[in-house]
């Protein structure tokens, strides 16, 4: 039937139809179709994985731009002396940010493709030996990039671009990125409820987003917190880099996810009994 339907198509369209059929068969075999629990789980996690990647990339870009502006050296001198590896890293970070914005604002296909290209570029850059960010990215840089790509691609095609989830993920990205940039730029000298050091703030916002989703869905919270845990590797890597390779802040943020999941489950159980 498929051969007869594609017999009169031009070869690019036929090749795309064959690829779509093979991809669907692979998803069904792996249990990642939209009807399976795993498919619905990754549909929940994918927008937040893109948002987390955009937050991490956006914070690196903002820090570089702030240093560029605040430095006494002329901007053109700084740009002319920039290393090629660092320039590529910034370009890949920009691709992730632009792609995430496109995907979360309604153009999931092109946006996710741009973001995936940026993430894969970071992974290839590390494998090629260009270790940036003072070497603290380590082996986790390509692993984080590939994990994020896997989560994005695991989302079933007919569940991509969910409007409510995209809005929630976009709000999470904005709330996780903007306060840190404002504080780092010195534009705000007051006190936030928590510290923005060691990548703590974006992780707290991600955990809060998972708790809000669980409360709105009246679920136990385990599924939502698990989705946030799957989506958080870019923020964990950012925390590790900004903490100069110290594992304690990273472990603290991971414990925070578990505690938030347990508290959400407890709150839902108490509410159901009432």
pLDDT at 79: 76
Cα–Cα distance, 35 to 28 (Å, whole number): 9
Q: Which pTM value belongs to this model?
A: 0.84
Q: Which two tokens stand for residue 246?
A: 């110290």
* Contact yes or no for 199/232 (Cβ under 8 A): no
* Contact yes or no for 63/102 (Cβ under 8 A): no
If one compares 170 and 86, the residue with the highest pLDDT of the two is: 170
Alpha helices in the chain (DSSP H): 2-5, 11-30, 37-70, 75-80, 84-104, 108-127, 140-154, 163-184, 200-217, 222-231, 233-242, 247-273
pLDDT at 115: 96
Cα–Cα distance, 245 to 252 (Å, whole number): 14
pLDDT at residue 228 greater than cutoff 80: yes
Cα–Cα distance, 61 to 25 (Å, whole number): 39
* Contact yes or no for 106/161 (Cβ under 8 A): yes
| Rounded average pLDDT over 39-50 | 94
Closest CA to 116 of 61, 59, 155, 169: 155
Cα–Cα distance, 119 to 112 (Å, whole number): 10
| Confidence band, pLDDT 50/70/90 cuts, at residue 272 | low
Cα–Cα distance, 116 to 155 (Å, whole number): 13
Dihedral class, residue 199 (left if φ above 0, else alpha if ψ from -120 to 50, else beta): left
Neighbour count for residue 77 (Cβ, 10 Å): 10
Among the residue ranges 23-27, 238-242, 254-258, 267-271, the one predicted with the least confidence is: 267-271
| Rounded average pLDDT over 246-267 | 73
If one compares 51 and 127, the residue with the highest pLDDT of the two is: 51
* Contact yes or no for 46/154 (Cβ under 8 A): yes
* Contact yes or no for 224/217 (Cβ under 8 A): yes
* Contact yes or no for 251/172 (Cβ under 8 A): no
If one compares 188 and 232, the residue with the highest pLDDT of the two is: 232
| Confidence band, pLDDT 50/70/90 cuts, at residue 133 | low
Q: Which two tokens stand for residue 145?
A: 């990039």
Long-range contact pairs involving 242-245 (C-beta distance under 8 Å, separation at least 24): 242/197, 242/198, 242/199, 243/198, 243/199, 244/134, 244/136, 245/136, 245/138
pLDDT at 172: 95
| Rounded average pLDDT over 102-108 | 94
pLDDT at 175: 93
Residue 73 three-state SS: coil
Residue 35 three-state SS: coil
pLDDT at residue 190 greater than cutoff 70: no
The residue extents of the domains of the chain are 36-185+192-273
pLDDT at residue 75 greater than cutoff 90: no
pLDDT at 97: 96
* Contact yes or no for 267/261 (Cβ under 8 A): no
For the chain, report the end-to-end CA distance as a whole number of angstroms.
Answer: 55
DSSP state of 220: -
* Chain centre distance of CA 10: 37
Neighbour count for residue 239 (Cβ, 10 Å): 26
pLDDT at residue 176 greater than cutoff 60: yes
If one compares 167 and 134, the residue with the highest pLDDT of the two is: 167
């Amino acid at each position: 039937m498929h051969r007869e339907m594609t017999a009169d198509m031009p070869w690019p369209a036929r090749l795309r139809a064959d690829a779509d059929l093979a991809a669907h068969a692979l998803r069904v075999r792996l249990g990642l179709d939209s009807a399976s629990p795993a498919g619905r789980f990754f549909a929940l996690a994918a927008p937040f994985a893109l948002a987390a990647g955009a937050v991490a990339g956006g914070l690196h870009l903002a820090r570089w731009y702030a240093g560029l502006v605040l430095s006494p050296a002329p901007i053109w001198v700084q740009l002319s002396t920039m290393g090629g590896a660092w320039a590529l890293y910034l370009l890949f970070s920009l691709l992730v940010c632009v792609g995430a914005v496109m995907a979360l604002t309604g153009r999931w296909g092109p946006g996710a493709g741009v973001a995936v290209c940026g993430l894969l570029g970071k992974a290839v850059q590390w494998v090629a030996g260009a270790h940036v960010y003072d070497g603290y990215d380590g082996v986790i840089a390509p692993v984080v990039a590939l994990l994020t790509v896997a989560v994005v691609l695991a989302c079933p095609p007919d569940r991509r671009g969910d409007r409510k989830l995209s809005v929630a993920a976009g709000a999470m990205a904005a709330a996780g990125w903007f306060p840190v940039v404002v504080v780092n730029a010195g534009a705000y000298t007051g006190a936030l409820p928590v510290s923005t050091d060691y990548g703590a703030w974006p992780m707290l916002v991600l955990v809060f987003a998972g708790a809000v989703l669980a409360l709105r869905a009246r679920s136990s919270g385990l599924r939502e917190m698990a989705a946030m845990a799957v989506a958080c590797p870019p923020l964990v890597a950012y925390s590790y880099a900004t903490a100069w390779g110290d594992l304690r802040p990273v472990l603290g943020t991971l414990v925070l996810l578990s505690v938030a999941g347990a508290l959400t489950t407890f709150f839902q159980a108490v509410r159901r009994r009432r």
